[in-house]
Amino acid sequence: MGGYFSDLFSGTKSLLDGMWVTLKEFPKRPVTLSYPHESLKMYARYRGHIELIGDEENKPNCVVCGMCERACPSGCIHLAGEKPEGGKKKVLTSYTLDFTTCSLCGSCVESCNFDAIRFSNEYNLASTRKEDFIIDLLKRLEEQDK
């Protein structure tokens, strides 16, 4: 018989305490986001796939040295450039990233001495098609920062 009534009372009290806790949450606003309609802004240090950095006129900083292409252990980067007539520097004509095999290791970003690539904040990447992950970064540069 020992503890019978004290169990009863402490049990009832703890149940009521629990109900009070949930009741206090009931009228509050949701803490969740309706994901496809609204999404969180990603933190600045988030490491998404890489993207090109442009100058003021949104021209890529890249000098087509090819270091990143060589640094990538998975061979995800393919770039090409050409020297325009009369120009001194090479100009980037295409820069594609094959994100399907990228391991986000960062070698490319580290190897670039011209501040031309960085990690993006892109995380909404779900797709059912493989081609969506072969990303044309040059085209992306035209659209980003707008």
Partner 1 sequence: MSLTLLNVVLAVFIAICFVGANAAYLVWCERKGAGFYQRRPGPMENGWWGLLQPPIDGVKLMTKQLLIPGGVDKAIFMVAPVLAMFPALISFVTIPFSDNIVAHPIDVGVLVIFAFAALGGMSLLVAGWGSRNKYSMISSVRAVSQTVAYEIPLLITTITIVMISGSLNLGDIVQQQLDGFLSWNVWPLHKEVGFNLLMPVSFLILFVCSVAETNRAPFDLGEAESELVAGFHTEYSSMGFGLFFMGEYANIVIGSCLITILFLGGWSCPFGDLGIFPFTHNVGWFLLKIYLIIFVFIWIRWTFPRTTIYGLLNLSWKYLIPISLFNLLLTAGLLKVF
For binding to partner 1 (CB under 8 A), which residues are involved?
4, 8, 15, 18-19, 21-23, 25-32, 34
Q: How far is the CB of 127 from ligand SF4 (least distance, A)?
A: 18
Measured from the CB atom, the residue of 16 and 105 that comes closer to ligand SF4 is 105
Q: Give whole-number Cα distances, 52 to 8, 10, 31, 41, 66, in Å.
A: 67, 63, 35, 20, 14
Q: Who contacts 94 (Cβ-Cβ below 8 Å, separation ≥6)?
A: 78, 79, 80, 136, 138
Structure tokens at 138: 């040059």
What residue 19 binds from partner 1, ligand SF4, none (CB within 5 to 8 A, per partner kind)? partner 1
* Separation between Cα atoms, residue 6 and residue 123, nearest integer Å: 54
Measured from the CB atom, the residue of 12 and 74 that comes closer to partner 1 is 12
What residues numbered 46-85 form the site for ligand SF4, per CB under 6 A? 50, 62-68, 71-74, 76-77, 79
Q: How far is the CB of 136 from ligand SF4 (least distance, A)?
A: 14
Q: How far is the CB of 128 from partner 1 (least distance, A)?
A: 21
Closest CA to 55 of 94, 80, 82, 91: 91
